[in-house]
Amino acid sequence: MFKAFIKKSRIKSPWLLHFDCGSCNGCDIEVLACLTPVYDVERFGIINVGNPMHADIMLVTGTVNHRNRKVLANLYEQMPSPKVVIAIGACGLSGGIFREAYNVVGGVDKVIPVDVYVPGCPAKPEAIIDGVVTALGRFQEKTQALRTGT
Partner 1 sequence: MINNYVLVLAGLAAGPVIGGLVSGADRIITARVQSRIGPPLFQPFYDVAKLLGKEAVVVNVWQAFCAYAYLAAAAISVVLFFLQSDLLLIFFTQAVGALFLVGGALTSTSPYSQIGAHRELLQILSYEPLIMFVIIGMYLETHSFKVSDILQWQEPLLLKLPFLFVALGYGLTIKLRKSPFDLSTCHHAHQELVKGLTTDYSGPFLALTEIGHWFEVVFFLCLSALFWATSWVGMAILLVVTYLLEIIVDNVSARLTWRWMLGYVWAMGLALALVNLIWLYAAR
Near partner 1 in 26-55, by CB under 8 A: 37, 40, 42-45, 47-51, 53-54
Q: Would you say 77 or 121 has its CB closer to partner 1?
A: 77
By CB under 8 A, residue 138 contacts partner 1: no
By CB under 8 A, residue 74 contacts partner 1: no
What is the nearest approach in angstroms of partner 1 to the Cβ of residue 46? 9
SS (H, E, C) the chain: CHHHHHHHHHHHCCEEEEEECCCCCHHHHHHHHCCCCCCCHHHHCCEEECCHHHCCEEEEECCEECCCHHHHHHHHHHCCCCCEEEEEHHHHHHCHHHCCCCCEEECHHHCCCCCEEECCCCCCHHHHHHHHHHHHHHHHHHHHHHHHCC
Q: Would you say 3 or 100 has its CB closer to partner 1?
A: 3
Q: Would you say 6 or 101 has its CB closer to partner 1?
A: 6
Residue 74 to residue 43: CA distance in whole angstroms: 30
The pattern of x and - marking residues 9 through 28 that bind partner 1 according to CB under 8 A reads xx-xx-x-------------
Which of 74, 59, 62, 61 has its CA nearest to residue 15? Answer: 59
Q: Pick from 1, 65, 69, 81: which binds partner 1 (CB under 8 A)?
A: 81
CA distance from start to end of the chain: 25
By CB under 8 A, residue 5 contacts partner 1: yes
What is the nearest approach in angstroms of partner 1 to the Cβ of residue 69? 22
Residues that bind partner 1 (CB under 8 A): 2-3, 5-10, 12-13, 15, 37, 40, 42-45, 47-51, 53-54, 56, 80-82, 146
